[in-house]
Amino acid sequence: MVVTKNKTYTHIKPTQISVGQFFEELKERHKEFKGEQLIIDFSDKINIEIKEILLFLKLSVQHRKNGTSFVLVCEGISIDDLPDELNVVPTFNEALDILEMDAIERNLGF
């Protein structure tokens, strides 16, 4: 995985062949990203299935409880087929927008 950090978020791009392998590595290293806004970028991956995206549900819920954002970038996934606890967007720019909206909601006490 390629990890790029800046002052507002951490951008993670998987280098593993399978989403499952990436998920296992992310789960093992997750403590490194505690308290950080995460963007998991699957924009280079083709044919990701909903069941693979659902692997990240528990991590997403955990981040929300801790007051941080967790956004997946993945084209071709219908958000209507996913639980509300998962933020999935088709582009990196939309992921940045989600981070901004989440920050506004937190500042307003939502």
**Assigned token pair, 15:** 């280098």
pLDDT of residue 71: 96
pLDDT of residue 78: 84
pLDDT of residue 16: 81
Distance between CA atoms of residues 63 and 43, nearest Å: 21
2-108: which CATH topology?
A: Transcription Regulator spoIIAA (3.30.750)
pLDDT above 90 for 99 = yes
pLDDT digits (tens, 9 = 90+) for 24-34: 999 999 889 98
pLDDT above 80 for 51 = yes
pLDDT of residue 52: 92
pLDDT above 90 for 109 = no
C-alpha R_g of the chain:
13
Phi and psi (nearest 5°) for 68? -125, 160
pLDDT digits (tens, 9 = 90+) for 52-81: 999 999 999 998 888 899 999 998 888 888
